[in-house]
Chains A and B, each alone.
Chain A
Amino acid sequence: MTSYSQPPEVVLAGRGIGKCYGEGPLASRALHPTDIEIRRGEVLVLMGPSGSGKTTLLSLLGLVLTPTEGEVLVGGWSAARASADELARLRQRRLGFVFQQFNLLPSLTAVENVAVPLLLGGVAWPEREARAARALELVGMGDRRQARPRQLSGGQQQRVAIARALVNDAPVLLCDEPTASLDGETGRGVLDTLGRLARAGRAVVVVTHDERVRAIADRLLQVVDGRVVPAEVPGVAHSANAAPPLAPTHRRMT
């Protein structure tokens, strides 16, 4: 696996990543080749109209889609040649996902849902439970650990999903429309939680239509017709909103 020289605060990056579906005249371009960096401690918000390619970009950064161009760097290491199982391991250890529909397993309690990534990682139950309980405390759900998803409100379910994304101490949270299924007040609570996590050192990427998310954004990128362009964030200098190019060193692991 190739590593790249990049600032240590960059925890996730895309180097010329693009996605095209189909081939030849039927090819459909979802995302033009893009350079992007996600840094420790920041909230990067991706906005844009439906179908603009922002969820494709999130899927590429989350290693659930394979780019047709470029490569994704996780902690400076290229995932370009990783096998399906290696990608799964990277997702499990380095990335946390928060989905619009929460995607909790309905048969499991909150603490069991949060512990699923640890189960997949081979962590034994007493430790799984302890770590999952800590993650629930972190998002203010410590008192609902035995509740099942159907017994929780949308906002509570989303906070359980955030706890699941945190439980492996993943440095990056990738959030797809985390407030879209929530009412105003509940959505603001979830955004507060994400903002706190970023201030605590995690990188948070949020794909959203929700204008309220601007309030917690450190950087804002617009995705329009598959192209990523910087947008202004109130109180943030434009130069800080741009991503510098990456310098490959082609160092290889032995």
Chain B
Amino acid sequence: MNGSIHPPPPTPGPGRLAGLALRMLLDTPMKSLGTLIGVVVSVFLMAQQASLLGGILGRVTSLVGKSGVDIWIASAATESTDATDTIPASKVGAAAGTPGVAWAAPVVQGFGKVTRPDGVRELVKVLGVEAPRYAGLPRTLAPGTSLASLRGSGRILLNLKDRPAFAMARPGDRVEVEGRATFVAGFYEGVDPHSPYYYVFANLDDARALTAFPPDRITYAAVGVAAGEDPRAVRARLQARFPDALVRTREELSAMEERYFLVRTPVGLVFGLGSVVAALVGAAIVAVTLYSTAIDRARDYGTLKAIGASRRDLLSLLLAQAWIFAAAGYAAGMAAFLVVRAHLPQLPMVVSPHLVAGVALAATLSCTLASLAAIRRVLKLDPAVVFRS
């Protein structure tokens, strides 16, 4: 056909047909409301599952990432900070003498049982750090706590979040670890365990005593890189010096921790699959509704075809309907998630720009994919259906 005879009109996009799309949805309010609820639930679950996963992964890497240590040296048999072995304490001195290293310090970790004031005994990971640097200690200490607080025998730092479990413990309170008396010296923040145990920081020798740790062994050699040095270059030097050990920068060990938890534990599967299932459930609900509506309204779509709607018009109309569900469902679902999150601060639900954008993208994508069957159905519709009474 020649364009000069019938110049193409300005093609209406989904935006121009959005009003018509919305009116068609409102024509079947109960069906549309049911679909919207499905999308809201889907968005809520996606956001909740993904934020929990993000929060747990943040906890998984918090010990490594929030201690001010640039490079970690550990046993070659290390898979994560929970699955590691010991190394000779002599590696600390050798590491300190490596070019590019500003300092090196020992860190030990071991598990024990802590007795809460109510008598309940729970698992605790005791981390021993060495004065005066206390390398490996969380960088953020609670107000009123300083590095000096830990100086002295039998002192420990508790997580500020764990105060309620220890009867709102205060500095000077007595806490039993492995049957030995320790005293609360203060609190730290920002480093949380991902598993049901407590982190307790103590002086190196106390930690050895509390966990029966061998005196000539350590768990990590914590290394600080000299100013101006590239941590990766220093890490390579250290790795060359200690071929029998695992040497990783802070970022590398964090990534290793994340991988371990995503692959070797059900964490990734449970929460990742939860997000995917939520997206699929939302998509399925929207797909069923749009498809059944396309069948119910075959005469309307046939009429639109007969009176001049192009394939692109119909595509735009159905996409607009899908995106209306996505936009409204996202707004309501995300709002519901944020309200629930605000009321459950104890759950590690992290909201990041990536999560906000990712869930929006997933909702849009799932609703778009959900509209494909309806689009196919409508595009294949015989417009002659309008002549059948």
Contact = CB atoms under 8 A, between A and B. Distances in A.
Nearest to B26: A107
B10 interface: yes
A119 interface: yes
A86 B23 contact: no
B17 A119 contact: yes
Contacts of B303: 97, 99, 103, 105
A9 B27 CA distance: 43
Contacts of B10: 122
A94 B35 CA distance: 39
Interface string A83-112: 111101111110011011101011110001
A89 B26 CA distance: 28
B20 interface: yes
Nearest to A122: B10
Nearest to A180: B389
B299 interface: yes
B387 A176 contact: yes
Contacts of B304: 116, 120
A82 B27 CA distance: 34
Contacts of B384: 59, 64-65
B119 interface: no
Nearest to A161: B303
B82 to A, nearest CB: 59
B318 to A, nearest CB: 15
Nearest to A100: B389
Interface string A49-80: 00000010011001011000000000001000
Interface string B207-225: 0000000000000000000
Interface residues of B, number: 37
A120 B389 contact: no
Interface stretch (B164-172, B255-263, B309-317): B309-317
A89 B382 CA distance: 16
Contacts of A240: none
Contacts of B352: none
Contacts of B313: 88, 120
Interface string B296-322: 000110111111111111000000000
A177 interface: yes
Contacts of B30: none
Contacts of B386: 64, 97, 99, 103, 176
A120 B9 CA distance: 9
Nearest to B7: A89
A92 B12 CA distance: 14
B150 to A, nearest CB: 70
B6 interface: yes
A236 interface: no
B16 interface: yes
A119 B317 CA distance: 12
A23 to B, nearest CB: 18
A121 interface: yes
Contacts of A97: 303, 306-307, 386
Contact of A121 (B4, B5, B9): B9
A27 interface: no
A247 interface: no
Given A64-B387, A85-B311, A93-B308, 6 more contacts: A88-B309, A100-B389, A103-B299, A116-B20, A165-B307, A177-B389
Interface of B: 1-2, 4-6, 8-12, 16-17, 20, 23-24, 26-27, 299-300, 302-313, 382-384, 386-387, 389
13 contacts: A55-B387, A62-B306, A64-B382, A86-B1, A88-B310, A91-B308, A97-B306, A103-B299, A105-B24, A106-B27, A119-B16, A120-B307, A253-B1
